[in-house]
Chains A and B, each alone.
Chain A
Amino acid sequence: MNAAVEFADFVLAYQDTVFSTAARLLGDDAQAEDVAQEVFLRAYERFESLRDSPACGGWLKTVARHLALNHLSRYRRRWRMFSEVATADDGGEAQEFDVAVPDTLLRDLDEHERARRTEAALRALPEHQRVPLVLFHFEEMSYADIAAALGISLAKVKIDILRGRVALARALADLGAGERGTS
């Protein structure tokens, strides 16, 4: 098999993984496609060593994560500012992190519909909650690594993720209620 065909197969095998990482972090499919392309261009440069490596999938995910975060970094200052404002706004009030969810949340749906609703709810989260939440729950990074990657404090990472979970659960519950209402 020649190298071009092998690389085409390689792209086909890993494109969903790379695209998922980028799309969930960026919340935008067109930007995620740009990032995925860049990831594979970098993979092509070291294809000789990558193609037989068992760490290949991990390498691709790491590069996709780095590139997506770099892509977001131009908005990082604004993102930090919004996040700080949100923290300040909530500071004087009793923190309400309890959330009521239907007992059947996502359970009465088929796999495709469950996945679709989860992705839609993730996309609807504000960036300063979605990014740390995706890094923690989908990319399985630790709080400390997320804080280092985003250049924010550990406490802020934890609070953003907690708020992200609340917002995600509410969004999923709302999506369910909305679609039941229209059906």
Chain B
Amino acid sequence: MSRLDPEGLERLVGQIARSQPPRRAPATLQARVLDAVARQDRRSAWTGGFDRWPAAARIAFAVLTLAAAVASARLPGLATPLAAVREFVFGLASAGALGHLIFETAVRALPAAWLCAAAAALVTLYAAVAALFSLTHRSLGRHS
């Protein structure tokens, strides 16, 4: 037996660490990674944004969008659907104006402390829901 002081101990552990070969990864790791990559590729083709869609899907989408734009500008038969869309947009705008009126009235009528409390509650709820969503997403991601 020999006694080692801190310096001798540092040398000994350093020597052990340097001579230690890497751990051997489990035999299943490579297959597991390749499976995960394949799954990610399948998912990300549609959920990862337009730039990750398959080329054929991107071209088809662009052609269809262009065709729809040209058709809506040129075909008289589309006048009625276009008018319906316009009315829907105006309807939304009116609803927005009504909402604005109600909001203004509420702001004037309610005490400021209530409004502050409501805003704080809203922010807290938002943070709670966001945290819950993030937690769920992470845990689903880990198990998928």
**Which residues on A are within 8 Å of B, measured CB to CB?**
4, 7-8, 11-12, 15-20, 23-24, 29, 33-34, 36-37, 40-41, 44, 97-103, 105-106, 111, 114-115, 118-119, 133, 137-138, 162, 165-166, 168-169, 172
Cβ-based interface call for B23 (8 A):
yes
Q: What are 11 A-B residue pairs whose CB atoms fall within 8 Å in the complex?
A: A11-B29, A16-B22, A18-B25, A20-B22, A37-B33, A97-B9, A98-B5, A100-B4, A115-B21, A138-B20, A165-B9
Docked-complex contact B25 and A37, CB < 8 angstroms = no
Q: Which residues does chain B contribute within 8 Å of A105, judged by CB atoms?
A: 12
Docked-complex contact A11 and B36, CB < 8 angstroms = no
Docked-complex contact B6 and A97, CB < 8 angstroms = yes
Number of A-B contacts (CB under 8 A): 106
Known pairs A101-B12, A172-B16. 11 more at Cβ < 8 A?
Answer: A23-B23, A33-B29, A41-B40, A44-B37, A98-B5, A100-B3, A137-B14, A137-B16, A138-B17, A165-B9, A168-B13
User: How many Å lie between the Cα of A90 and that of B24 in the bound state?
Assistant: 37
**Which residues on B are within 8 Å of A, measured CB to CB?**
1-6, 9-10, 12-14, 16-17, 19-26, 28-30, 32-34, 36-37, 40, 142
Which secondary structure dominates chain B's binding surface?
helix
Q: Which residues does chain B contribute within 8 Å of A17, judged by CB atoms?
A: 22
Docked-complex contact B9 and A166, CB < 8 angstroms = yes
Docked-complex contact A99 and B3, CB < 8 angstroms = yes
Q: Which of A24, A97, A115, A165 has the most CB of B within 10 A?
A: A165
Docked-complex contact B21 and A111, CB < 8 angstroms = yes
* Known contacts A18-B25, A99-B4: A41-B20 contact under CB 8 Å: no
User: How many Å lie between the Cα of A51 and that of B20 in the bound state?
Assistant: 26
* Known contacts A97-B9, A98-B3, A118-B16: A41-B33 contact under CB 8 Å: yes
Q: Which residues does chain A contribute within 8 Å of B16, judged by CB atoms?
A: 106, 118, 137, 168, 172
CB distance from A3 to the nearest CB of B (A): 10
* Known contacts A44-B37, A138-B17, A168-B13: A101-B23 contact under CB 8 Å: no
Docked-complex contact B26 and A29, CB < 8 angstroms = yes
Chain A residue with Cβ nearest B26: A33
